[in-house]
Homo-oligomer: A and B are copies of this chain.
Amino acid sequence: MKVTIYDVAKQAGVSISTVSRVINNTGRISEKTRKKVLEVMKELHYQPSIVASALTGKRTRTIGLIIPDVANPFFSEIARKVEDRGRELGFNVLMCNTDNNPDTEEMYLSLLQQKSVDGIIIGTTTKNYTVLNQLLQENFPLALIAQDIPELAINVVRVDDFLGGYQAVSHLVSLGHEKIAIMLGNLSRTSDKYRLQAYRQVMEENGLRYEEKWIVYTDYSLTDGKRAALELLQSSPKPTAVFACFDSLAIGVYQAAKELGLNIPNDLSIVGFDNTILSTIVDPPLTTVAQPIDEMGRQVVDLLIDEIEGKNSTKQRIILPPELIIRQSTKSL
């Protein structure tokens, strides 16, 4: 049978409230009884039930993490940082993958509440505004990572996507490229929207005409990227450079280029986004815009936990600077 606070109390010859006090380090207890209780706890291998204590109103010390897919390197790296920082602060993370499916997401949002998590970090492209609004209204601790919903007053930690896009496209322009394409996901993802805005702005600032068909919408996976790139690279006029809004898409472009016998960077320059592990192992190494994943992970957790612990009730947007990492996939014309 599981050993409970009663067992400890009985064995130590004190009441359960005394035991509770030494567990939580509250109230005053004589050094002597504290020592005795501690001793018995150890002896009995007593482990306080977090479930029971949660029922009395205390925290579960668990946070939910809703992301599209942990198997995606960008999110797996985020998940890792979130868990690390959570652990440092005494919180566990319940991992939820939704593939950006709104139903799955809504299900999780509800489930996580039933499980009494103390807060939720969301990295998916939510469209569940009503649910979010409701949570916000209830003052339920919430934070967005690598995503934004400008219409909501909500905690956000993300990279400056506009700036990142600006750096990426400017880099290509500075190399003399004029025919530049952009590949991106869904515009409902704000990050993509900002990156596209940056693309348009850089092109216009430099007086470069761009075809609407150079703006390629696709899905997030490598295969999607490859398929779309295959089409793009066989169209005409053919771009000499591509800004892919995720590393995975960029690698899809690599594969398409290879299939078409195009050399990177000689025939085609490519800039990615995210700086995941993928970008370092492809050949040639991918020039990409780095998101400060470690910093982002740490900051969302801090933001969320501050709110959970009532230390900071004002919502904030933390927008971190990206960094263009120039490797060998880009070359001047």
Q: Residues of A at under 8 Å CB distance from B?
A: 47-52, 54-55, 60, 62, 65, 69-71, 73, 76-77, 79-80, 83-84, 92-97, 110-111, 113-116, 222, 251, 254-255, 258, 277-278, 281-283
Contacts and interface: CB of A to CB of B under 8 A. Distances in A.
Given A52-B55, A94-B93, A281-B281, A47 B114 contact: yes
Most B-side CB within 10 Å, residue of A54, A110, A258, A282: A54
B95 A47 contact: no
A interface, by DSSP: helix, strand, loop or mixed? helix
Nearest to A282: B281
B50 A116 contact: yes
Contacts of A96: 83, 92
Contact of A49 (B47, B83, B114): B114
A240 to B, nearest CB: 21
Contacts of A281: 222, 251, 254-255, 278, 281-282
Given A70-B79, A70-B83, A282-B281, A111 B92 contact: yes
Given A48-B114, A70-B76, A254-B281, 8 more contacts: A70-B70, A71-B79, A73-B73, A93-B95, A94-B95, A251-B281, A258-B283, A282-B283
Contacts of A79: 70-71, 76, 95
Nearest to A95: B95
| Complex A-B, nearest 5 residue pairs according to Cβ-Cβ distance, in ascending order | A76-B76, A283-B283, A71-B80, A95-B95, A51-B116
A105 to B, nearest CB: 12
Contacts of A50: 114-116
Nearest to A1: B138
A63 to B, nearest CB: 11
Contacts of A277: 71, 73, 222, 278
A71 B62 contact: no
A324 B52 CA distance: 50
A277 B60 CA distance: 36
